[in-house]
Amino acid sequence: MATRTSGQQQSQPKVLIVGAGLGGVMLGILLEKADIPYTIVERSTTVKPLGSAMAIGGTLLGLFAQLGIFDEFVSLAKWFTQSSILNEAGETIVSTNYLPVQELTGYQGYIVARPRLYSLLIKQIPSHKIHFGKRILTVTEDKDDDKVHIQAADGTTYQGDILVGADGAYSAIRKRIYEKLKTEGTLPKADQEDLPFSCTCLVGQTDVLDVEEFPELKDDKCLFITNLGKEKPYSWVLFSTYDQRICFMVLHHLDRTTSRAAQEQRFRNSENSEWGPFAAQSMCDETREFPISIGTGKMTLGDLYERTPKELISKVMLEEKIFRTWHSGRTVLLGDACHKVHPAGGQGAVTAMHDAVALANLIYALPSTKLSDIQQAFTEYQAERLPLVTEAFNGSRALAKGMEKGLGGVIALWITRHIPQWLWKIFWTKRVKCRPQVAFLKEVESKGTSPPMVSFSYEKARAVYEKRQGDAAAAPVVI
């Protein structure tokens, strides 16, 4: 039997990924495609189908095509061309047309229930490479074996060359490396402050609905509407899905910025928990009479809550922060662990998956598993991603203004209604310029009128990929 020697690097890094959210799972998929060894550990014991819906368009669909999951994704999603902001009476305040965005990228926009997207992604990961019920207690780097080690609460340990903290806004991995840096006196003051938020959110997805009772579900296009509360600090967003369900987000705009630590202190003082087991039900009770502009007759949010399993409704905080420190030693952060973006712009999960692409490209291009090479890759990763994340963060904040109460919200809505089309085009062109692909898979032809930016991580990894392909082709045949 004849074989060729591999063009792959001789010593591949072993990657430990803590956190099985969308960003962590996407990184796992990319490492699987690159044949780089990895293990994913997740604190939760099971995957719960929580969350609302997400807008996915040209900034990710080229990547999905590369991964061979584009067609299946489309079968789980519903396309949309516009969104509308309504008042409580159901009157349209402003509508946004997304067809120019589709022209820029060459892809339609889709709305997909977050649990459906997650299920699609996680099934790309071999089951033996992901472990649930692993709450990480310790992170250590051993100079003797030049590895990073993690230990879970159940006593299991893992070692690797790289540790990726993809475990969310309250990342245990970030906490561990920040504790070390703070002790050394090298942690920036901004990174020592609590995660702020000024908005909480109720999210969920109904059971399958009767299309005669909710005739809007018959439309091939997705329903995408936001209602603004009249003289109340709430807004609520509804999306229809391909399988005749409604996803909802109910946002409570707080009158001041707070933090989880402040909320916990308030709980200790008042014995009234904002985040206990009854928090979601309490918010349902507070908002169930809010009117919705769908269905037959006069329906309210309560009609949706009654058609949603209680265990699939959750209350979350909408924190907003970009951390300054993304890596230390052999550890690097990804997604919400290093930047938490307001969901108004639909960029939180997108930026996490973009992080995964950049990081996977740079890991693929590593010349060795030496600490110096890994730290250089992490520095390049943050340098590439931070400006793009900052743009997404600011853009999402600007879009969120239109849902807020007070003068700021009024001004934001006025600007949205009166902004000229040429200015919208500039805004969207900037928003869609980041449409990354991985360098070690077959390229997908760029679509649309606006060419995507070419990233440093892609060019670096592509050069390595082409060299390895050339080396493999030139390698002697071994009999």
Contact 366, 468 (CB under 8 A): no
Predicted local confidence at residue 271, as pLDDT: 44
Indicate if 136 and 255 belong to the same structural domain: no
Residue 37 lies in a domain: yes
Residue 479 lies in a domain: no
pLDDT band at 162 (very low <50, low <70, confident <90, very high): very high
Indicate if 315 and 453 belong to the same structural domain: no
Indicate if 179 and 282 belong to the same structural domain: no
Indicate if 253 and 268 belong to the same structural domain: yes
What is the pTM (predicted TM-score) of this model?
A: 0.91
Residue 57 lies in a domain: yes
- Hey, what are 84's tokens? 């509308």
Q: Is 54 helix (H, G, I), strand (E, B) or coil?
A: strand
Indicate if 348 and 463 belong to the same structural domain: yes
AA identity, residue 273? S
Contact 450, 104 (CB under 8 A): yes
Residue 90 lies in a domain: no
> Rounded distance, CA 191 to CA 195, Å?
9
Predicted local confidence at residue 395, as pLDDT: 81
Residue 102 lies in a domain: no
Predicted local confidence at residue 423, as pLDDT: 76
Indicate if 400 and 449 belong to the same structural domain: yes
Residue 94 lies in a domain: no
346-366 per-position pLDDT tens digit: 677 999 999 999 999 999 999
Contact 174, 164 (CB under 8 A): no
Residue 100 lies in a domain: no
pLDDT band at 345 (very low <50, low <70, confident <90, very high): low
pLDDT at position 133 over 90: yes
Query: Domain of 420: which CATH number?
Result: 3.50.50.60
230-250 per-position pLDDT tens digit: 889 999 999 999 999 999 999
409-455 per-position pLDDT tens digit: 655 555 566 677 767 777 778 888 999 999 999 999 989 999 999 99
Mean pLDDT of 395-404: 66
Indicate if 301 and 331 belong to the same structural domain: no
CA angle 181, 373, 393 (to 5 degrees): 60
Indicate if 296 and 433 belong to the same structural domain: no
Indicate if 469 and 336 belong to the same structural domain: yes
Mean model confidence pLDDT for the chain: 88
Residue 39 lies in a domain: yes
Indicate if 406 and 302 belong to the same structural domain: no
Q: Which residue has the higher pLDDT, 331 or 231?
A: 331
Indicate if 340 and 280 belong to the same structural domain: no
Tally of domains in the chain: 2
The CA distances from residue 226 to 49, 81, 265, in Å, are 23, 15, 33
Mean pLDDT of 267-278: 47
Q: Which of 319, 350, 380 is the last residue of a domain?
A: 319
Contact 50, 44 (CB under 8 A): no
Domain of 31? 3-83+107-193+321-474
Indicate if 167 and 230 belong to the same structural domain: no
> Rounded distance, CA 374 to CA 370, Å?
6
Q: Which of 298, 319, 340 is the last residue of a domain?
A: 319
Left (φ > 0), alpha (ψ -120 to 50) or beta: where does 133 sit?
A: left
